[in-house]
Amino acid sequence: MKGTIRLLVLMAIVGMVLPVQAEEAAGGLRYSITVSKFENRAGWTGYWSLGDAWGTVMTDMLNQTGKFIVLGETDMRAAAMEEQDFAASGRTAGGKKAPVTGQMTPAQLLVKGAITHVQGDTGNAGGGIRIKGFRIGGGGGKGEVNATIYIVESTTGQVLASKSVVGTYKRSSMDVGYATGDWGAEFGGNKKDNVGLALQDAVAQAVAFMIKQLPNIPWTGSVVLVKGNKVYINRGAREGVTVGQTFTVGEVEIIRDPDTGEVLDESMTEIARLKVNKVKEKLSIASVTSGSAAAVETGMTIHRR
């Protein structure tokens, strides 16, 4: 009887939460982002790497949000460049399947940081089952993971936002709850230990913080072609652009510090306003709704409204 009640509770929670998650993940302009390896400054050692685990879980959670264009971690991008260099050396068969240079997506945002404190055991948290992001059951135990994250703008190298997070996990002998993320990576063969679950909680907090910062981070694009009233911009469905969306277009003046060359501010002189009529994967076609269509030129900057 108790087992039936727990199953009914789980089904009810899944039915309520999953539609909300899907709704939250949909829409919104996206930023390309990559996760740097987090430093383990906590002095914690175990049978899995703390820094590697953080990068794996954060990369997956960022991808699941639908708010970012998630690029491979630093080592993965380095491996991709090695393959490109190998293909360019002439020692491979070539053809359409060979990797080519000059097409890697640049990261607009970088995430880095350090894990500063870890407390708890790494014993197996027990049995239990996990269905669509929900867990039922397991043995007792607790864990805590503290970390500090930084969001860095790749063009300037400036820290845009930072936050310290504290992930905790305490499991009773039998519980029902939502397990953050639906990732499948293993912590050295055991992802259910208490420190690992606390790490998931810390990453989930960090990702939620990052999403809240997005409205404060400049989102830009460029005009790549103008044909009459049609303006082609280098942002498409991949970046979250949708039909009916509006942008401003114009010339941007960058104000730099004469002593250091640092960017102090940017100011746009608006030429026109655009409305998106057609969206492709990496390209959108818009029409001019106000301002001078004849004054819009290739290379001009677009800003979100």
CA dist., res. 275 & res. 290, Å (int): 10
57's enclosing H/E stretch is: helix 50-65
> How much is the pLDDT for 246?
93
CA distance 177 to 201: 13
Residue type, 157: G
pTM beyond cutoff 0.85 = no
Can you give the pLDDT at residue 268?
81
Per-block mean pLDDT, blocks of 10 residues, the chain (305 long): 40 37 52 88 85 89 90 59 52 54 67 91 49 49 90 83 91 48 42 81 94 87 90 91 92 75 74 94 92 89 85
Q: What is the pLDDT of residue 217?
A: 84
pLDDT value of position 96 = 55
pLDDT of 179 reads 46
Domains and CATH numbers, the chain: 2-71+107-215 (3.40.50), 220-304 (2.40.10.410)
pLDDT of residue 44: 87
* Residue 277 confidence (pLDDT): 96
Give the pairing of strands 159-171 and 129-131: unpaired
Residue 212: predicted pLDDT: 93
Beta-strand (E) ranges in the chain?
31-35, 39-40, 68-70, 109-120, 129-131, 134-136, 141-153, 159-171, 176-178, 220-227, 230-233, 246-256, 263-279, 284-291, 301-304
Residue 107 confidence (pLDDT): 78
